[in-house]
Amino acid sequence: MLVEGFNEILYWVSVGLLLFTVAAFIDAAVRREDAYRAADKHTKGFWLIILGIAVAVNLFLGVMSFLPILGLIATIVYFVDVRPALKQVSGGRGPRRRGSSSDGPYGPWNGGR
């Protein structure tokens, strides 16, 4: 019974790790190629290969091997170092706020009324 519980925990950890890696791969795929060069973070192809290998390793080997840990490290490096640099270079600070064409930096401009 204890072994079954441990196996279930490992299964859910493996699924979570796979989802984390897939999210990093998708995020790397939707970023622009020139943003990688501007942020000086290798190339888009490099990160797609590294994260793609990490997804494949997590999919086929599970958690109980050394290679998924290397994939986890690459995924963490992408999320902690590369992704913020890409967002800074691209100017992505979240969803854009839509306002009137007369809105200034501190709110709407009413023409001195």
Q: Give, as one character, the DSSP assignment of residue 107.
A: E
pLDDT of residue 22: 96
Q: Give, as one character, the DSSP assignment of residue 81.
A: I
pLDDT of residue 95: 42
pLDDT of residue 107: 65
- Could you give the C-alpha distances from 22 to 12, 39, 91, in angstroms and in order? 15, 22, 24
Cα first-last separation, the chain: 75
pLDDT tens digits along 61-104: 877 778 888 999 999 999 999 999 999 988 765 444 555 555 66
pLDDT of residue 43: 92
SS3 content of the chain, % helix, strand, coil (to 5): 70, 5, 25
This prediction has a pTM of 0.73
Mean pLDDT of the chain: 84
